[in-house]
Structure 1
């Protein structure tokens, strides 16, 4: 009986739970930013990056992007109209998931984490002409703070270049 008790203790001590989501880094630097519609600075814009079975979604509130040259810093919190969402899917995801009126039934979302805080730097430059104004908005995510479903805080996750989008 002692031997059986020792075996159970050993199994209990050496067991682990592989069910927890462990995000060690967000690796979206080599992935292009995508959008489903043309950028409209007067409305909210949804930008996303897809890396196989995960995505990083940036929702910019209306008038965050401007048609004035220069750089601005945008602080995102739970009370702002802009937000960042990280999603982990059951399989490889495509832009159809975000752009179709009715998203495909697969892949499914395994976990979704909304950033509690983030800092963006948006640099706007004029690339058009007087007759056809056009602006490029280079977006850099400086810091991101995520809280997982198991209340684990992951901070200072940086995505050097989120990407560049164009508005008219």
Structure 2
């Protein structure tokens, strides 16, 4: 956020006036770290308490693409995309100057605060366009250590390629979930993060754990001990009967003389097939950028000229995250993705 004296002080930056309108070349609050709150209406806002007390807020109608749930997801259908709509009576840009410091929860209170007092307010009319750009920030090409699914292996080693769609990327177990988003790459019900490190140290120093030494590391091997019985089926009959959909294969429950069954090639007892798959639930991180163009701001009291801009204005951006469950494509009725927002947003 720029530390200036506020929008009114920008009169010194004016380069033209026409019929009482003021055209500005800059704004005090720009490229700011934005905040979001609200239910029926979403409020995207930034404040400045340095030198002048001011705020810039974008009040959006929560219909259509705008998310009306209690979450930090501004867009209902989160994907890398951009959404454009016009400023209007229900989608308003508001600039205010106050007589005192603005609290962090000023825009998120159920009852509008009486303090600080608003000294001057400018409100947008029907002119202007809002563009909201959404992108995943957990697949950064600039960060070789990015690990979207949190399984301990960087995206760069799991076949992530920004030039490809998810359907075209590496999918070891063929479950429709690319490895870089799959917490169980080989579909054996043992999370990838538990199948990485050899006994003598970390995989970064000593390579990946490969129990049967067949050249395929355990995290990509559906039969870790090479005994012909898939890892996911090496479970006790009583436990198999009690397993619920989404429950993981817990190695501590399946032992034979102190050794894990699915890591012991001499233990091949099993009863039937294990019908469960672990739930592939991961935390996704996104960045949302707000651009406004061709807008004008009118003094709500009619005491000052209208303020217009002739360029795209980058209001700023905010980071957020949400939990997402990726379902296997083995059942067409379950071939979907569920988004569940985190609860780290002010209401």
TM-score range, shorter chain: 0.5 to 0.7
2: CA distance, partners of 1:76 / 1:147: 13
Provide the C-alpha distance between the structure 1 equivalents of 2:47 and 2:117, rounded to a whole number of angstroms: 14
CA distance in 2, matches of 1:165, 1:45: 16
Q: Is the 8 A contact 2:31 2:314 kept in 1?
A: no
Which of the numbers 272, 287, 292 marks the counterpart of 1:141?
292
Any unmatched runs of 5+ in structure 2? Answer: 1-7, 12-25, 67-74, 139-147, 150-180, 182-280, 323-347
CA RMSD of aligned residues (A): 2.9
Aligned counterparts of 1:143 and 1:51: Cα–Cα separation in 2: 24
Task: Note the C-alpha offset of 1:23.
Answer: 5.9
2:87–2:129 CA contact under 8 A, matched in 1: yes
- Structure 1 residue 143: Cα displacement: 3.4
What is the number of residues matched between the two proteins?
142
- For the residue of structure 2 that corresponds to 1:163, the secondary structure is strand
Match of 1:35 in 2: 36
Q: Does 1:119 align with 2:273?
A: no
SS in 2 for 1:98: helix
- Cα displacement string for residues 96-139 of structure 1 (whole angstroms, at most 9, x for unaligned residues): 32234455543201122211132222111234666335543221
* Residue number in structure 2 paired with 1:73: 84
Equivalent residue, structure 1, for 2:42: 45
Q: What residue in structure 2 maps to residue 159 of structure 1?
A: 313
The range that moved more, 94-103 or 116-125, is 94-103
- Distance in structure 2 (CA, Å) of the matches to 1:107 and 1:67: 36
TM-score by length of 2: 0.36
After superposition, what is the alpha-carbon deviation per residue over 1:15-43, rounded to whole angstroms, capped at 9, x for unaligned? xxxxxx67635311253212346xx7xx5
- Which digits, 9 at most, give the CA deviation of each residue in 1:79-102, with x for residues without a partner? xx3211111111222213223445
Richer in strand (by share): 1
Distance 1:118 1:96, change over 3 A: same
In structure 1, the residue corresponding to 2:121 is in which secondary structure? strand
Match of 2:303 in 1: 150
Mapped to 2, the partners of 1:30 and 1:69 lie a distance apart of: 20
**Paired residue secondary structure (1:35):** strand
Gaps of 5+ in 1: 1-20
| Structure 1 pair 143–166 and aligned structure 2 pair: CA distance change class (3 A) | farther
Within 1, Cα distance between the matches of 2:31 and 2:134? 21
Instruction: Give the TM-score normalised by structure 1.
Output: 0.67
2:113 & 2:41 partners in 1: Cα distance? 23
Distance 1:70 1:30 in 2: 20
Secondary structure in structure 1 of the residue aligned to 2:106:
helix
Check conservation: 1:31, 1:51, Cα contact below 8 A: no
The structure whose Rg is larger is 2
Is the 1:28–1:159 contact (alpha carbons within 8 Å) kept by the matching residues of 2? no
- Taking the TM superposition and a 5 Å limit, the aligned residue runs for 1:81-120 are 81-116=90-125, 117-120=127-130
**Equivalent-residue separation in structure 1 for 2:34 and 2:10 (angstroms):** 21
